[in-house]
Amino acid sequence: MKVVVVESPAKAKTINKYLGRDYEVLASFGHIRDLPAKDGSVDPEADFHMLWELDERGSKRVSDIVKALKGADGLILATDPDREGEAISWHVVEALNARRALKGMHVERVTFNAITKAAVDTAMRNPRQIDQALVDAYLARRALDYLVGFNLSPVLWRKLPGARSAGRVQSVALRLVCEREREIEVFRPREYWSLVATLVTETGAVFEARLTGADGKKIQRLDVGTGDEAAAFKRDLELATFSVGTVEAKPAKRHPAPPFTTSTLQQEASRKLGMAPAQTMRAAQKLYEGVEIGGETVGLITYMRTDGVDMAPEAIADARQVIAKEYGERYLPGAPRKYSTKAKNAQEAHEAVRPTDMGRLPKTVARTVDAEQAKLYELIWTRTVASQMESAELERTTVDIVAHVGPRKLDLRATGQVVKFDGFLTLYQEGKDDEEDEDGRRLPPMKAGDALKRERIASTQHFTEPPPRYSEASLVKRMEELGIGRPSTYAAILQTLRDREYVKIEKKRLVAEDKGRLVTGFLESFFKRYVEYDFTADLEGQLDRVSNAEIDWREVLRDFWKDFSAAIAGTKELRVTEVLDALNDLLGAHIFPEKADGSNPRTCPTCGAGQLSLKLGKFGAFVGCSNYPECKYTRQLAASAVEGDGDGTSENGGQPGTRVLGTDPVSGMAVSLRDGRFGPFVQLGEASPDKEAPKPKRSSIPKGLSPSSVDLEKALKLLSLPREVAKHPETGEPILANLGRFGPYVQHGKMYANLGRDDDVLEIGANRAIDIIVAKEQGGGRRGPAADPGRALGNHPETGKAIVVKSGKYGPYVTDGTTNATLPKTQAAEDIDLPQALELIAAREASGGGKKRAPARKASAKSAPAKKAPAKKAAAKAVTADGADAPAKKPAAKKAPAKAASPKAAAAKPAAARKATAKKA
């Protein structure tokens, strides 16, 4: 028997069916080791020695593999066919070597681009060794990310309170979003006019033509800049006679787009399906791992992390058969189409993302997968099949029209397009970002010299618009163009920016938050090189060279660390005033927008003498007056802060205080947004100096609602809480929605139930509120979160117990009513199925944990107090990059206060891991 290791339980289940009884397939559940989140995990002083650690979950997986290897004939590593997959295989081997489980064991590495029986069988017949170059590229990337995160983030925390952290690639992506925001702020609209004539041919057909020239000179889009100019042209056109000058019809062809790469799949899924990149990759992962169809589990698409656009010859042949059968021979080109990637270095260039079987039509697949996966599969299938279809044949027509008014000659032009043969357009048309669709209007038949009748002349005022904010799709596209990131990182980069609250999404566009603007401003001012696009792209190129075995990975780290460590050291003497001055200049257009009356936007509206500037407090950045403490004017950083509606004075003096949103129409009191000790809140009126007077009404801002998006309407809704949303169907008593210390909730009498992540306390309706309360009542208990009924997965094949996945205090878990098993961090609750749940419960039972506790008995007065067993704290086992166990440290008799160790001090200590082994990673 041979042991096969893959990443996921779903993949293990499918492959086990293909291989049969002679193989045991186990899942690693992704990475089993990682760098500990502490200083010293990567040591530049020891030639970038890396210390790896097995967490509890990883240790359990390694133990399972070690157990399976006893008596086995060999180990086969079948993780994903990319850099991360190669790294997972390497980690497994290193961890097994550390436990001496591979003595004399034959180890092989296999890869397959699709989870089908044919692909797996082919891979098993063609094993290889672990690609050390790919592993080295992983090590370099992981070390770089660690060194940036653990050295740059503390600088941010010290010099820029409120900042979360800074990542190597995420910071560059954030700069793109912030620069676009800056372009929008400094943009000045320009007025221009268009003149369009509606004309009628001799046969009565109506069409439109646009003014393009006058008196032998061309008129561009912005050339008619005032209403007076437009009025003069309109007057002449209304008096002119029109005739056809020339008619030119040109044949044209439009060719299909290549099949999907990771990047283009994320872009199209965002445009056409409204799916975020992370959401797209989750659904694609499920399609790749496969579903059961006709009694057989098969993968539906090829591997979804790739920058290649080519397809296997047999896949192209299958696509051509489908085209001929479903659409006819007219839609089949004479020869197969071949595509080549435009990526600078397609180091992960496997096949394009395509269906594993072209004959598996979307309508058939839709019966076996959920709605989201069905939509994504259809998108992949149509794009793939369309890529092998015949080109569309078009006819583009341009008609030049002459208008004579006295001695003056004006030129107009009408354009149109006719699809003569739709070709691939019958199936698929690629979406576009921020581009106008090509004019597809059809023009009536005309010939040179034909007289035309004027029906009307329209002059329309326009203003130029700023560049649009990035959508998730257009940002991924721009990152790919600049060479920033790689296919496997795009979704994670975007998700990280949102999780850190550096950006938010409004109307499907990425908007930079103030926190993100400050971080970018700081990095541009003091670490400019490390957020430059060319520098980041060049570094990605070096990592690609490492993966091609062209350069040593430690050489890349040495070159990077030499300058980066010097830049970090240069900030030690950096004063906060220097940081503020730099940010005031860089973000001036955002913090101090121009006023309509032309007055100085930095003049304090309260004292009239002081100058406003950016300041830092324990709650983060805010705007304050230079005459503090005599003048205590403060306001929030956002440019939307309203000035003149209040004195802006903060009771705390110098802390970000008040943004007046407007006046309550009922009470006439001011409604303001304020920053407090526990976060932002809205307030009605002002506090009275009389301690006996009632305090003004306040309401906190719900988590997930950005303070900058709170307007008067939302503030009034928050201040109106609690609000009645329904009557209980049995008692008739009101069900209230409100905000509490632990978030939004609904209440019925003494029954409280927390709202879900997708529920809005301001918008929740009667039916949903009743459902939550009833579910809580059925689950028992008086307070706390609503009982989660969970999602039924099926019954245990042996015990018959119902298996359910639920949301718990410490994350999602599966249960059979007796044993609870927490889901791994890499496993989403919505993705878990019955076999995976049974495996987790069985593993939990085998470890002796997860059992529900019996109710504790009340201690009687006579009973002796139970003795406490000595508590033993399990120490996490640290493993060096070479795989050797680091000697465990003896517990100190008395723990001294912890101090932050400098990199030099950490390097000076005789690391136990370094003593244990002299090998290199």
Find how far residue 292's CA is from the centre of its chain: 30
801's tokens:
């117990």
Dihedral (CA of 772, 774, 776, 782) sign: positive
Q: Which residues of 295-333 are buried (b: 16+ CB within 10 A; e: fewer)?
A: eebbbbbbbbbbbbbbbbeebbebbbebbeeebeeebbb
Whole-number Å distance between alpha carbons of 765 and 751? 18
Question: Of residues 303, 428, 490, 502, which has the active-site annotation?
Answer: 303
Reference 299, options 284, 283, 288, 310; nearest CA is 288
Residue 356 amino acid letter: T
Contact 234, 278 (CB under 8 A): no
Structure tokens at 344: 């600078």
Q: Which two tokens stand for residue 435?
A: 């581009």
Token pair of 146 as six digits: 């660690």
CA-to-CA separations, 59 to 42, 635, 876, in angstroms, rounded: 21, 51, 9
Three-state secondary structure call for residue 740: strand
- Amino acid identity for residue 231 in this structure: A
Token readout for 239 is 């008096």
3-state secondary structure of 655: coil
Active site residue 813: no
CA 244 centroid distance within chain: 53
- d(C-alpha 799, C-alpha 797), whole Å: 6
- The answer to whether residues 582 and 479 touch, using CB atoms and an 8 Å cutoff, is no
For residue 476, the number of C-alpha atoms closer than 13 Å in the C-beta half-sphere is 29
Residue 150's contacts (CB-CB under 8 Å, 6 or more residues apart) are 39, 41, 42
Contact 184, 466 (CB under 8 A): yes
- Residue 394: which of 357, 441, 330, 434 has the closest Cα? 441
CB count within 10 Å of CB 135 equals 22
Burial bucket for residue 740 (CB in 10 Å: 0-12, 13-18, 19+): middle
Q: Are 376 and 285 in contact (CB under 8 A)?
A: no
Helices (runs of H) and strands (runs of E) counted in the chain: 24, 34
Q: Roughly how many angstroms between the first and final C-alpha of the chain, as a whole number?
A: 31
* DSSP state for residue 55 in the 8-state scheme: -
Given phi > 0 = left and psi -120 to 50 = alpha, else beta, which region is 894?
beta
State the Cα–Cα distance between residues 658 and 374, nearest whole angstrom.
Answer: 49
Residue partners of 773: CB distance under 8 A and separation at least 6 = 728, 735, 746, 748, 751, 753, 786
Say which DSSP state 219 is in: -
Alpha helices by DSSP H, listed for 612-676, are none
Tell me how far the alpha carbon of residue 694 is from its chain's centroid: 45
DSSP structure string for 471-520: PHHHHHHHHHHHT-S-TTTHHHHHHHHHHTTSEEEETTEEEE-HHHHHHH
Q: At what angle do helices 170-186 and 472-482 cross, to 10 degrees?
A: 110
> CA 175, CA 616: separation in Å to the nearest integer?
22
- Which residues are 414's β-sheet partners? 399
Q: Residue 132 and residue 547: Cα distance in Å, rounded?
A: 8
- How is residue 299 annotated by DSSP? -
Active site positions, annotated: 303
